[in-house]
Amino acid sequence: MSQQTDKSSNTVWHCATVTRQRREQKNAHKSVVLWFTGLSGSGKSTLAHAVEEQLFQSGFNTFVLDGDNVRHGLCSDLGFSDKDRKENIRRISETAKLLLEAGVITLTAFISPFKAERAIARSLMPHGDFIEIHCYCPLEICEQRDVKGLYKKARLGEIKDFTGISSPYEAPENPDLKIDTSLLSVEQSVHLVTSLLRDRNILPPNAF
């Protein structure tokens, strides 16, 4: 029997008395996971933080799991191979699930290029608690932006397994929300996200 199996067989789930429902009642809003996906340079982090800012200023409990920030700690041991990308998303998914139970509106900003891994992330959350937001932006515009200079390095072969250049991005076929960040301003994009949250009854109808 493997060590991992031994661990699993000797752990028992402890049911807390402070439940997600009680936390949501205290917070006066529901918790949810907003999963922003898209190419590098598509505006995922910018939009996620802008949405969080508006929610936070209105008194909602929020937290952003940002791709670069997470790789400084939780996923600092991972590279960018397909295997490591999958493990990166697995860890983020489990973290987001914990924050969901904590009653927090959680915003994740990751390329998360593979459909299968995003599907696994969705499957971890109760129905309706995972909202996939595709930050769509044509590759050529992402390359023009190239805020971090990564596309230039990828084109020169200095970065391997770079999404959109040497590694595939599998765009969502039926996201909960698709935002063309090459056409819409940050303010317009934020409005689309918060409107969806009101429509889903995650935020009260009089929010904002």
Looking at the structure of the chain, the number of domains it has is 1
**Residue 32 within any structural domain of the chain:** yes
| Catalytically active residues, by annotation | 112
Q: Give Cα 126 distance to the centre of its chain.
A: 16
**Residue 77 within any structural domain of the chain:** yes
- pLDDT tens digits for range 85-126: 788 888 989 999 999 999 999 999 989 999 998 999 999 998
- Taking residue 208's Cβ as centre, other Cβ atoms within 10 Å add up to 14
**Residue 106 within any structural domain of the chain:** yes
User: Quick one: which H or E segment has residue 100?
Assistant: helix 82-101
Residue 75 has pLDDT above 60, yes or no: yes
Max intra-chain CA distance, the chain: 56
**Residue 12 within any structural domain of the chain:** no
**Residue 208 within any structural domain of the chain:** no
**Residue 7 within any structural domain of the chain:** no
167: three-class secondary structure by DSSP:
strand
Question: DSSP label at 202?
Answer: S
What is the distance between the alpha carbons of residues 81 and 59, in angstroms, rounded to a whole number? Answer: 39
**Residue 13 within any structural domain of the chain:** no
- pLDDT tens digits for range 119-172: 999 999 988 999 999 999 999 999 999 888 999 999 999 998 899 999 999 999
Phi, psi of 136 (to 5 degrees): -85, 135
* Closest among 131, 144, 137 to 179, alpha carbons compared: 137
Question: DSSP label at 126?
Answer: P
- pLDDT tens digits for range 9-66: 676 666 778 898 999 989 889 999 999 999 999 999 999 999 999 999 999 999 999 8
Q: Average pLDDT in the 75-85 region?
A: 81
CATH of the domain at 101: 3.40.50.300
pLDDT of 14? 65
**Residue 4 within any structural domain of the chain:** no
What is the distance between the alpha carbons of residues 170 and 155, in angstroms, rounded to a whole number? Answer: 20
2 vs 186, which has greater pLDDT?
Answer: 186
Provide the residue range defining the domain that includes 55: 19-199
